[in-house]
Amino acid sequence: MILTGIFASLALVSLGLTLWQWRVARNFPLHRRVVGPVFTPQVTLLKPLQGADDCTESCLRSWFTQTYPGAVQLLFGVARADDPAADIVRKLIREFPSCDAQLVICHEYLGANPKVSKLIQLEALARHEVLVLSDADVFAPADCLQNLVAPLVEAQVGIVNCFYRMWQPASFAMCWEAVAINADFWSQVLQARTLGPLKFALGATLALRRDALKQVGGFGVLADCLADDYQLGQHVVARGYGIELCPVVLECREAPRGWAATWRHQLRWARTIRVCQPAAYFASILSNATLWPLLWLAVSQSRLVLGLGAVMLLVRLAVARDLMARLTQSAVGFGGLGLVFVKDLIQVAVWCSAFAGNTVEWRGERYHIRRDGTLTPARPEK
């Protein structure tokens, strides 16, 4: 009876959190565009790169074909001149000679975070007062810049974040990860915003006031941070700026990953969140709307419990389907919805594993996470 009561309570909590998440997501004006060039400051795009896959060229090309009416400077950074991404950038620069674009070889190693090391060197060449930071695998719609910088018309806004969706997951292993991104992640961010102003940035793509960056000490303060986007947001908010969300959705186009690589990817995210927000991450298991109804059903097989448990699981499916359809703007068939349950159950294992170590793998390199959230390269065991 005690277990039944505990699991019943937790199942109801997870249901409430799911419906709350769905409600705030439904109220957000996702995909809404600005009308006309309301605010068009000069922009510098900082694009740190490493390696290339089949999607890299299309992602980089999308930034050359922006319809933004203001001046745009494109800076692409690689650590080595022979990096495969460098050849793609050179090709695009030749193809778009009218674009103010430059390939920068970032030779210096300025911290444990290789992305931030490149950003430090790119920012030194930036000429404009609005910086846009974007990951290599992001494909931007043609009106991305115009919509992304629009909230910066308000002087108190320091950072503008973009939501993103996983585009056509290329392997079965990535399909369950797509549920986490396309259904849960963006709606959880909006849920967090109902509890107070955002205090973190989303690193896939963001717009940043350069004067705000200078006030926090530049990218150098993030050189050894694992969650550079989170820490950037924290620093900017501490200086009195706000963080806003852009309704335009970008695409993350990634090469196929198998189960092992997808697991490592999710584990890195989990340990990153655990370090940044330990209490919130610990409590996040409460929102698992598959785990708790199943445990409730496991300890009590009464007709009432079977009926209520089934309703809760159906609500979880319906909410996930609606949120995925809203973000991706495409119909979501019922056939693949079983992955929602798969994702939730795998997420339990990821959640537990996040507490079982302080090592992450990032672009083939292993790092230890210190208690303050900074990185140190993991030395191989002798």
Domain borders along the chain are 2-26+275-369, 30-260
- Among 3.90.550.10, 2.60.120.10, 2.102.10.10, 3.40.50.720, name the CATH number for the domain at 30-260: 3.90.550.10
Over 70: is that where the pLDDT of 259 sits?
yes
> Nearest 5 degrees, angle CA 283-CA 20-CA 166?
80
Position 93 scores a pLDDT of: 98
The tens digit of pLDDT for each residue in 20-77 reads 999 999 999 999 999 877 889 999 999 999 999 999 999 999 999 999 999 999 999 9
Over 90: is that where the pLDDT of 301 sits?
no
Over 90: is that where the pLDDT of 265 sits?
no
Distance set, CA 8 to CA 171, 305, 345, 346 (Å): 36, 9, 18, 21
Position 99 scores a pLDDT of: 97
The tens digit of pLDDT for each residue in 175-223 reads 888 899 999 999 999 999 999 999 999 889 999 999 999 999 999 999 9
Over 60: is that where the pLDDT of 381 sits?
no
Beta-bridge partner residues of 105: 78
Span 90-105, average pLDDT: 97
The tens digit of pLDDT for each residue in 310-338 reads 999 999 999 999 999 999 988 776 666 78
Q: Where are the beta strands (DSSP E) in the chain?
A: 43-48, 72-78, 100-105, 130-134, 138-139, 157-166, 205-209, 242-252, 359-362, 365-369, 375-377
Regarding predicted confidence, which is higher, 171 or 111? Answer: 111
Regarding predicted confidence, which is higher, 262 or 338? Answer: 262
Over 70: is that where the pLDDT of 257 sits?
yes
Position 361 scores a pLDDT of: 84
Over 80: is that where the pLDDT of 382 sits?
no
Residues 346, 358 contacting (CB under 8 angstroms): no
Beta-bridge partner residues of 367: 360, 377
Phi, psi of 208 (to 5 degrees): -140, 135
Over 60: is that where the pLDDT of 151 sits?
yes
**Strand, coil or helix: what is 361?**
strand
Cα 62 from Cα 73, distance rounded (Å):
14
Cα 333 versus chain centre, distance: 25
Find the helix packing angle between 303-328 and 291-299, rounded to 10°. Answer: 170
Residues 153, 166 contacting (CB under 8 angstroms): no
Cα 45 from Cα 66, distance rounded (Å):
12
